[in-house]
A and B are shown apart, each in its own frame.
Chain A
Amino acid sequence: MNWTPAALSQDIPSGSAAPGQLGDKDIVIWRSASGRIAAWSDRCPHRGMRLSHGFVRGEFLSCIYHGWRYGDGGQCHRIPAHPELTPPEAIKVPVFAVVESGGIVWVAEKDAEPADLPMEFAGFASFRTIRTTVPASIVAAAFGCTGLELRGTLGGTDVVLLLQPLTDGCNLHVLAADGTGPDQLDRVSVAVEALRRQAESVQEFAA
């Protein structure tokens, strides 16, 4: 198994949580106050609530439903309904392997963590993730490529598109050549949206 690009680092600032996916699994990606990134199963073991709806205080992520508080390794540290109870070690959220590189949050199954670090894209910086309802193969075809890592030009700028297949469509994590200014990035952004429209119209015709 390889690392999967699941989000951009800039989209998950300290003290926040966001929903994501790894294959067909829902995950929560969150960053503690001190900046530590984590990727866990997006489900509180207590009553199944999505942890991505939860809140970050310090180094802990709490479930929005009953405030159960989880820390390092997914371990439950506090159950507010029983403030004096030390939660048993068995209460744990399944965790995923996670690493940040090149402004991207990469995730993998814990028991299949790749030996190598994720690929680096020297000379490129990530700037936007956009979601489409069509599969990665259709996006790649619309870009005149195959695979999940596409290179080419959009809006007059060299780009790398990392496609992340989802259960219902795919994410396009967009990287543009280093030093591209905001106005030029706007043009890349417009071109990526045009690519998405094109890919989605292909699927409509096929349907």
Chain B
Amino acid sequence: MNGGAMRDQWYPVAIAAQLPQKGRDSLLLGEPIHIATDETGGARVTDGAGRILPIISRYGHIWTSLGQPEQDLFPIPEADQPGRRLVDVGSVKVRCSPLRAVENFLDIAHFPFVHTDILGSEPHTEVERYEVEIRDDVDEVWATKVKFYQPQAAKSAQGGITTEYMYRVPSPTCSILYKTSPPRPGEWDVITLFVQPLTEETCEVWPWMALFDDDSSMTDMIHFQQMIFVQDRSILENQIPALLPLDPGKEIPTRADMTSIAYRRWLKRHGYTYGAQLVAA
């Protein structure tokens, strides 16, 4: 039995609108699973023993669990807000810890070097102080008042702007980013990173978005997000160790890494350690 406390979480395993017609073998927390289409055209997910696993179809994806989730999938109220376009970005496999993939998503300081001239550029590298908390009522990590200068923040953005962000971690391998919507300054665009932990050192990443953007084509929006994520992929595959270190001392955070510090602390507190390294090697 793999996964410990993470076994009872929900994980994305397929795009709901693109179920594999011939079925597809995959892994979840190191265990084999099979994703198929049933007689009614719905999704069916089974484990290695053929046991039918619980599923939820939400936020564009099919979610499943190897354990017994006590809670429903986390809410994203914006998903039901009229006027948003919902974007299934598609999956990318990465040879990295699922937790490292989430941590990278929470990081802004790498924008000028990894997403050069898109999400950041030198000399605009400073990360100003922002606020981070673990919200006990909902048991989520939140970072707010995050600001960063971006040359091209979204497909719909023209030229450079200082963009404001909020980050939210509602489950150990999922994160939601709220970002100033260029066409609607009063609203937040929603960009998520849903991560399927294949093993402790490999994952399948399923980004999904709910955007205010009436001009860009769906394909343009998909490609923008795929571009951003694949720029991150070569970083994620070259971090040492592959597992996310949860003990202080192995890596050196700064004030810009407050979200990551809170995320690591929250993982440790809950025993969400699949993909983590507990004792510095």
Spell out A's residues near B (CB within 8 Å): 26, 42-43, 45-50, 53, 63-67, 79-83, 85, 91
Number of interface residues of B (CB under 8 A): 24
Tell me the interface secondary structure of chain A in the complex: loop
CB pair A45 B256 closer than 8 Å: no
Question: Complex Cα distance A83/B112, Å?
Answer: 13
Residues of B within 8 A of A63 (CB): 113
Cβ distance B124 to chain A, nearest Cβ, rounded Å: 9
CB pair B235 A81 closer than 8 Å: no
Judged by a CB distance under 8 angstroms, whether B4 is at the interface is no
Question: Complex Cα distance A91/B252, Å?
Answer: 8
Interface-side segment among B21-29, B75-83, B238-246 = B238-246
Cβ contact of B112, chosen from A43, A45, A49, A67, cutoff 8 A: A67
CB pair A65 B113 closer than 8 Å: yes
Question: Complex Cα distance A67/B115, Å?
Answer: 12
Given A65-B113, A66-B110, A83-B125, decide whether A46 and B252 contact each other with a Cβ distance below 8 A.
yes
11 contacts between A and B (CB under 8 A): A43-B240, A48-B239, A49-B240, A53-B238, A64-B114, A65-B235, A66-B109, A66-B110, A81-B109, A82-B126, A82-B256
Smallest CB-CB separation from B243: which chain A residue?
Answer: A48
CB pair A48 B240 closer than 8 Å: yes
CB pair A26 B240 closer than 8 Å: yes
CB pair B251 A47 closer than 8 Å: yes
Residues of B within 8 A of A46 (CB): 251-254
Residues of B within 8 A of A42 (CB): 240
CB pair B251 A45 closer than 8 Å: yes
CB pair B125 A67 closer than 8 Å: yes
CB pair A49 B238 closer than 8 Å: yes
Cβ contact of A81, chosen from B114, B123, B234, B254, cutoff 8 A: B254
